Structure 1
Amino acid sequence: MKIAVITDIHGNAPALLAALAEIDQAHVSRIYCLGDMIGIGPDSNEVLGILFNRKDVSLITGNHDEGVLALIHGQPYPKSHEDTRNHHQWIADRLDPTFVARLDSLPRVIDTMLMGHSILFTHYHIEQEKLSATFYEDPFSPIVQPTLENMERLYGDCHQELICFGHHHPTHFFTGKHSTYLNPGSLGCTPGPYARYASVTVTQEKIEIELRKVAYDNTAFLAAYEKLNVPDRQFILKVFHGNQLKE
């Protein structure tokens, strides 16, 4: 069977549509979306509409999804994320209310077996005792640099054959003695006009992984940050989109 792994769309609808167009041509059995569907980019409603209208997508939440939900529900917002609060409030104020219950219902992890192989899908590492912690309690582990040694240490309490995650936007692809660690890289936040995802072919004998990049026109998407007065847009365009807008 073939699956696709996508993560960190971050409100970028044209990037998502470009990736899905290629994924659909490959006739995958299932798409696993590893959180941070919303936030950063201005297309949160469009992205959720696309994902929720499909029957072949399994989703989990990421820190941006949970941060926006915390503000919508009037829950405590962590001081550790104070620099994103204004931006998350902007997203929360514009989020289609019909999406809230569906977001609330999503799990943090999917731990499954495919063709006899154990696979974990998570936004990033979460210690077992924090799986039910609130967003205010900072459930996600601190980001570490992408090396095999760091991945083995970070996910030392996870024993699945394939561990898929996102959160840290660069691509990670490492194979150790017991596990393969796969982060296809952020789909929606890239330094160039392309969307990233991973194609994973699973048979009884083995798991094969192909990292994919799909070109798309991001001109209108990037221009929308200024047009819509997205909070922190200059920082976002520099840090998350590689200063692609030309003066």
Structure 2
Amino acid sequence: MRLAVFADIHANLEALVAVLDDAAGRHVHRYFCLGDIVGYGPDPNGCIELVRSLPRANCLAGNHDAAVTWRYSPYNMNRKATEAIFWTMDQLTKKHSDFLEDLPLILPMGDMLFAHANPYNPGAYRYVLSSKYALRSFRATRARLLFVSHTHRPMIITRKNFFQVEFFEPQGEITCSLNPEKRHIINCGSVGQPRDRDPRACYCILDTRKNTLEFRRVEYDIGQTAKKIQRIDGLSDTLVQRLLQGK
């Protein structure tokens, strides 16, 4: 089975369309969206509707999705993020707001587990960027593959032994073989606001038969998204620079 895993769309419709078009041509059987459909970007309703329409799809709530429905405090975020949250609240239709409000925080599936940020306290949205929180994540579940997002940076963290982990940050497009005897935390990167200095949209495809993980980078019309952001008073122009620079 081939699973497309993506997250951190952040209301960037152009990036989402490009990613889903790319996945459609790669024999994907199921889709997993790890959250943050909204926040920062100009097209929250369009992105939610597109995710809702996907066949054989599961979706989780990211911190921005939770914040627009007050399941998580918008004031726990930086100022630009908070401003974007309140702008997004004003744009959402009731149907789309209800959809976000009903999203789960975590999804176990066989020997896999999916969460927006981490599996040990999914509602607190702590980043997994250090050995301490990677080990805490491994201890929280028996799943062999833990899929997360939230950092906007693609990554594989492999558990070497009880006390040690190994970090791998892929550059560009790459296909990795996953050691079936090891456990892995896989960060799928960001569709709509990458922060690894590569502005292309990022997602990954897991092939469960071959035990491989492919990181995909997809070009999209950043200029079109940037123009939309610049026309909206409730969104900061600095968000445009993040898109252009990928950081």
The TM-score normalised by the length of structure 2 is 0.81
**8 Å CA contact 2:10, 2:193 repeated in 1:** yes
Choose the corresponding residue for 1:172, options 142, 148, 155: 155
The CA deviation string for residues 55-108 of structure 1, in whole angstroms up to 9 with x for no partner, is 2221000000000011xxxx7836433633332111000112221222222111
Correspondence 1:28-43 to 2 at 5 A = 28-43=28-43
Deviates more, 1:79-88 or 1:193-202: 79-88
Give, in angstroms, the shift of residue 193 of structure 1.
4.6
Distance (whole Å) between structure 1 residues aligned to residue 40 and residue 84 of structure 2: 8
**8 Å CA contact 2:199, 2:244 repeated in 1:** no
The amino acid across from 1:120 in the alignment is: L
Structure 2 spans left out of the alignment, 5+ residues: 161-181
Query: In the alignment, which residue of structure 2 is the partner of 1:136?
Result: none
Distance (whole Å) between structure 2 residues aligned to residue 151 and residue 76 of structure 1: 23
The amino acid across from 1:67 in the alignment is: A
Correspondence 1:4-83 to 2 at 5 A = 4-70=4-70, 77=73, 79-81=75-77, 83=79
The amino acid across from 1:89 in the alignment is: F
The amino acid across from 1:104 in the alignment is: E
**8 Å CA contact 1:125, 1:155 repeated in 2:** no
Query: In the alignment, which residue of structure 2 is the partner of 1:195?
Result: 201
Distance (whole Å) between structure 2 residues aligned to residue 172 and residue 37 of structure 1: 20
Work out whether 1:101 is the aligned partner of 2:103: no
The TM-score normalised by the length of structure 1 is 0.81
Deviates more, 1:178-187 or 1:14-23: 178-187
Distance (whole Å) between structure 2 residues aligned to residue 226 and residue 89 of structure 1: 17
Give the match's secondary structure for 2:139: coil
The amino acid across from 1:44 in the alignment is: P
Give, in angstroms, the shift of residue 212 of structure 1.
0.6
Give, in angstroms, the shift of residue 148 of structure 1.
5.7
Task: Count matched residues.
Answer: 222
**8 Å CA contact 2:62, 2:116 repeated in 1:** yes
Work out whether 1:235 is the aligned partner of 2:238: yes
RMSD: 2.2
Give, in angstroms, the shift of residue 154 of structure 1.
4.0
**8 Å CA contact 2:117, 2:128 repeated in 1:** no
CA 105–144 in structure 1, closer or farther in 2 if over 3 Å, else same: closer
Question: Kindly, what percent of the aligned residue pairs are identical?
Answer: 26
Structure 1 spans left out of the alignment, 5+ residues: 132-138
Distance (whole Å) between structure 2 residues aligned to residue 109 and residue 196 of structure 1: 21
CA 228–80 in structure 1, closer or farther in 2 if over 3 Å, else same: closer
Give, in angstroms, the shift of residue 242 of structure 1.
4.5
Query: In the alignment, which residue of structure 2 is the partner of 1:121?
Result: 114
Bigger helix fraction: 1
